[in-house]
Amino acid sequence: MERKKAYGPYEAFMLGLDLEEAGRVFYSRVADSVTDFRVKDLFRHLAQAEVEHKRVIREEIEPSFVHEWYREEDQQLMAEYLHDVEKQPVFPDPEDAEHYARLTKDPAHALDIGIRAEKKSIDYYVFLRDATQDAEGKEAFERLRREEVKHLELLQNLKKEL
């Protein structure tokens, strides 16, 4: 019998931290090995932004977390959404050296992964913002969403230049 994992606001924070860390690893690793200086510079910038997003989650959102942030009727929806998010990895497995080797030879593919990841991040933060009742929590998630939109635009614009 398969045991269902329980999901709630705390898991949302943990998945957010995991997502940002996976992004930092991905962007840093590609930046360290890609030869195109435009991709290298952008990915370094995005890696640093992921570090800042983790700080926001840890220092601004998590400490002020209270269960009343979320409407009771959103708990089941949140559980289903987080279950789906956890099953769909956004970034390549950091242990997949072969995949990373291909990414360094094909910067457009690396940009595509970044674009998909930023779109998923935007969706993730919109979901959390909308499920949050607390005004400060809403603003923190909205700020993260806006940052992800900027990252998406940077990636899309660079892809057009390649």
Digitized pLDDT (tens) for each residue of the chain, 162 residues in all = 344 444 556 667 777 888 899 899 999 999 999 999 999 999 999 999 999 999 988 887 777 665 555 556 666 666 676 667 666 677 888 788 888 888 888 999 999 999 999 998 898 888 878 877 777 778 888 999 999 999 999 999 999 998
- Spatial distance between the Cα atoms of 66 and 9, rounded to a whole number of angstroms: 9
pLDDT at 94: 78
Task: Report if residue 4 sits inside a domain.
Answer: no
Task: Report if residue 45 sits inside a domain.
Answer: yes
Give the CA count within 13 Å in the CB-facing half-sphere of 34. 26
Task: Report if residue 29 sits inside a domain.
Answer: yes
Task: Report if residue 148 sits inside a domain.
Answer: yes
* Residue bearing tokens 């942030």: 69
Task: Report if residue 117 sits inside a domain.
Answer: yes
Task: Report if residue 1 sits inside a domain.
Answer: no
* Domain housing 42: 9-161
Q: Are 141 and 111 in contact (CB under 8 A)?
A: no
pTM for this predicted structure: 0.81
pLDDT at 36: 93
Task: Report if residue 2 sits inside a domain.
Answer: no
Total domains present in the chain: 1
Stated as kind and residue range, the H or E segment containing 111 is helix 107-131
Q: Which two tokens stand for residue 131?
A: 């499920």
- Spatial distance between the Cα atoms of 125 and 140, rounded to a whole number of angstroms: 9
- Closest to 56 in 3D by CA, of 120, 148, 149, 123: 148
Task: Report if residue 28 sits inside a domain.
Answer: yes
CATH number at 51 reads: 1.20.1260.10
